Structure formats: structure tokens, C-alpha cells
Amino acid sequence: MFGMRRLLRRSLLVLLIASVVYLVLLAYPQPLFADEIARNGLIVHTSVPLPTAMQVSVDRAASRLQRSAVSRGAGTIHVFICQTQPLFSLFARQNYRVGGVADWLVGQHAFLRESDLLNDRLISPSGTPVAADRPLSYFIAHEAMHIAIARYLGRLQYSQTPQWVDDGYADYVARDIDYAHAWRQFREDARELDPRRSGLYLRYHLMVAYLLEKKRMPVDVLLRTPPDRDAVERELLSLTDWPSS
């Protein structure tokens, strides 16, 4: 009995030490990354030496982030590109098959999976580059925007933010789309406008753009007291055409 208790105490101690080490690693992952480049409050780290071409990708991402007052007031945001699957899995945990994750709770850093750093492309879990309309710079800006929103709202309120608002606003900042075309696809129930079928956030992006650009809803209202999702979708479906600016 005494031996079992001693073994249990040792196991719990090992688990505690491992947990503390992991939390420290989430907060300070820099030692695992070889290089970095900084632009306008955005610092991108990679686990391999950075090629010169990455300066363009980081510039594009930083430029997108500067369009939002939410990100401009967020302070320095670190994005870590993990060039091996084990390294990405270490930070993504059960979400290891996604393009990127935002650790808003502990370190407030973003982590991306393996990428083609020379050509501004994220590598999908299947090993092929993600389509060119979502370059690496898009993923950097999108995940960094999650961190910016979390800092803007605070951890507690961010944890209660609807996904369509969180991913919709991050997508709205990170890329441009043809809203009239997206709206027509939405009305036709196209696969691309269904996040469950496509894995894309175009539906949420369209909803956010409609509220911000057509309804003139302030960003603070959208993020802090978002309207009912179903009501926004019904309003979009009731339109006879995409409103002109």
C-alpha cells in the first residue's frame, strides 16, 4: 500500500511538472524558433531561417492588420510558423489538422502549420499548398486578428463571442472578397458559403461586412453585443440585390 501511494505521488509530481513546463512553453515558445521578422507590432517567428521573400508576406499581413483599430491597439502580436508537424501538434494539440490556432488563453500567441515560406503559401494537412486566394499572409493576419480581438474584449468576454463574429471579423480584416458574388452564393446555398461543408469562413465574412459596411454598425457593437445570427442571415436572404456603397 505504501509503495502504491509513493508511486501515485511521484506520478502526480511528474504530471504537475510537465503541466507547468507546457504552460511556460505556451507563454514563451521563442526558444523553439530560429528566426523572426517584425513589422508594425506583428512579429513572425519560424522554426527555420527566414528567406528574404518572407518579408513580403509579413508586410502584407501587417498591412491588413493596420486596417483595424482593434489590432492597432492590441500591442505586439507574435505568430509562430511551425515547419514540422510534431512542432505544430505540440501547440495545436487536438486541432493539429487545422491551418492555424490562436492561443488566446495563456500566452496569447498564434501558431501556424508548415508553410512554403518562399511562395507565401500554407501547406495543408494533405501536403499540398492551400489555394492562392488564401496565402500564408492571410493566415498570419487571420490568426493574429483572433489574438487582437481577445485582447480587445478580455479573456472572459472573448470566450463567449460567437464563432461567426470572431471568425467573420478576422476574415474581414485578413482578406478581400467579392461581396456581391458571395451574397449570390449565400442565397443559392453554395458549398463555399457553408463553413461546415467547405471549412471556409466566407459566410461569416459576408455577414460581418454587411453589418459594418451596409448597416454602419460600429465594430465595438459588433464585437461586444453582436446581433442574433439567424436574424442577420434572414435579412441577407430578404435582400433583392447586394446594396451598393
- The pLDDT of residue 32 is 94
What number of H helices and E strands is found in the chain? 12, 7
Cell numbers 453585443: residue? 225
Measuring CA to CA, which residue among 216, 80, 229, 224 is closest to residue 152? 224
Could you report the average pLDDT of every consecutive run of 10 residues in the chain (245 residues)? 68 79 92 95 95 96 96 96 96 94 95 97 96 96 98 97 98 97 96 96 98 97 98 96 83
CATH number belonging to domain 26-154: 3.40.30
- The pLDDT of residue 245 is 66
pTM, two decimal places: 0.94
Give me the phi and psi of 143, to 5 degrees please. Answer: -70, -35
What are the angstrom distances between the C-alpha of 58 and each of 33, 103, 149, 217?
16, 20, 20, 30
Residue ranges, comma separated, of all CATH 3.40.30 domains in the chain are 26-154
Helical (H) or strand (E) element with 56 = helix 54-65
- The pLDDT of residue 59 is 97
3-state DSSP assignment of residue 241: coil
- The pLDDT of residue 21 is 87
